[in-house]
Amino acid sequence: MKHKVMLVEDEEALALLLKYNLEKEGYEVLWEARGGKVIAEIEKNLPSVIILDWMLPELSGVELCKMIRSKPDIKAIPVIMLTAKGEEEDKIKGLSSGADDYVTKPFSIPELMARVKSQLRRAPEPKEEKELIFEDIRMDLVGKKVYRGENYIHLGPTEFRLLRMLMENPEKVFSREYLLKNVWGDNIYVESRTVDVHIRRLRKSLNEFGPDYIRTVRATGYAIDKNMIEDEEE
């Protein structure tokens, strides 16, 4: 599978040059010239690395980088920030945008390609995970749908993300704090009891068509586990 590189650059000539060279290296390139739709495109395509220009129409590279870092689904994707000469690197770093690397314009193509390669070395190989299965529960990750046997289970977006986290790591016990941080995100303030509310909703939807596989672990948190041991009644 080809690595996808998301290129966010408003200077068309530079973008086309980079696109050409990245494709020559064997990457699939997704190009955005404006900031507005970038987050939605990243969430849809899940690129392996993001090359982000600092100065962009609509949303700046720094703002975009902060948004990427606050979203659990995409926060781990490496970001290489392109900065123009004169925008002092230290100043940009001081903004703590969370970029993994900074490249100052003008740069040479081989230099940028090397930086991309170095970020990809740290990134996981792209895996084509289309669904998660736990016993009779099936999660379609592409269509964002959940089924239990033949039955479609309607879940809200939070319940979907919660279930996904549990199903990706069966039998692992997650603390409420971990779930809050990774399902809701760092920047949102919610009480840890909120997790219980959403787990209750998730259980209600899932258990309509089968046994309860969500395990409550007293004073700890939650897991999905077929060897159901109910430690605590909610």
Q: Which residues contact Ca ion (rule: CB under 5 A)?
A: 10, 53, 55
Least gap, CB of 229 to Ca ion (angstroms): 56
Nearer to Ca ion, 109 or 188 (CB): 109
Full strand arrangement of the beta sheet holding 145-148: 131-134, 137-140, 145-148, 151-153
Number of residue whose CB is nearest Ca ion: 55
Least gap, CB of 85 to Ca ion (angstroms): 12
Least gap, CB of 9 to Ca ion (angstroms): 6
Of 4, 17, 2, the C-alpha closest to 109 is: 17
Nearer to Ca ion, 27 or 54 (CB): 54
Least gap, CB of 82 to Ca ion (angstroms): 8
Nearer to Ca ion, 56 or 199 (CB): 56
Show the 3-state SS of 111-160. Answer: HHHHHHHHHHHHCCCCCCCCEEEECCEEEECCCCEEEECCEEECCCHHHH
Q: Which residues contact 199 (CB under 8 A, 6 or more apart)?
A: 162, 214, 216, 222, 234
Nearer to Ca ion, 99 or 199 (CB): 99
Least gap, CB of 69 to Ca ion (angstroms): 21
Q: How far is CA 51 from CA 12, 57, 133, 201, 214, in A?
A: 14, 15, 34, 39, 40
Least gap, CB of 149 to Ca ion (angstroms): 52
Nearer to Ca ion, 55 or 113 (CB): 55
Nearer to Ca ion, 32 or 53 (CB): 53
Amino acid at 166: L
- Strand ranges, E, within the chain: 4-8, 28-32, 49-53, 79-84, 101-105, 131-134, 137-140, 145-148, 151-153, 174-175, 214-217, 221-224
